[in-house]
Amino acid sequence: MSPLIVWFRNDLRLRDNPALAHAAASGRPVVPLFVLDEESDGVRALGGAAKWWLHRSLTALQASLGERGAELVLRRGPAHDILLHVIEETGAGAVFWNRLYGPHEIARDSAIKADLVARGL
């Protein structure tokens, strides 16, 4: 049974997380993933306060996942490239994520989704 990747972005929580809920409901293993992407088009580098918040949020998410026997995979780089690498690494059969509504995020997510569908995911 191939695992599923849940790509965490701005939604660094276990409760009220539709992507995680759908993946978990499948009964398949879940690979929680966070990608720090400061390289893709339209992405702004994080400032000091945002980095502080992100560090604390990721630490809390990792602790919550650890209590449930899962480990958060942390990667840095272009999200599309990282997703493809983690899919290859884990043999994942699908990727779940929650929507973002900024124009750059919509364009990026649409391109990623089209590529994954073309790959049979």
pLDDT tens, position by position, 43-94:
677 788 988 999 999 999 999 999 999 999 999 999 999 999 999 999 999 9
pTM (whole model) above 0.85: yes
pLDDT tier at 114, thresholds 50, 70, 90: very high
Residue length of the chain: 121
* CATH match for 4-118 among 3.90.1150.10, 3.40.50.620, 3.30.750.24, 3.55.30.10: 3.40.50.620
- Bridge partners (DSSP) listed for residue 35: 75
- Bridge partners (DSSP) listed for residue 76: 36
Task: Tell me the angle at which helices 79-90 and 103-118 cross, rounded to the nearest 10 degrees.
Answer: 30
Parse the chain into domains and list their residue ranges: 4-118
| Mean of pLDDT values over 26-38 | 95
How far is Cα 6 from Cα 24, in angstroms, rounded to an integer? 9
* Cα within 13 Å of Cα(34), Cβ side: 17
pLDDT tier at 104, thresholds 50, 70, 90: confident
Q: How far is CA 74 from CA 59, 104, 111, in A?
A: 11, 22, 22
| Mean of pLDDT values over 7-27 | 96
- Bridge partners (DSSP) listed for residue 73: 33
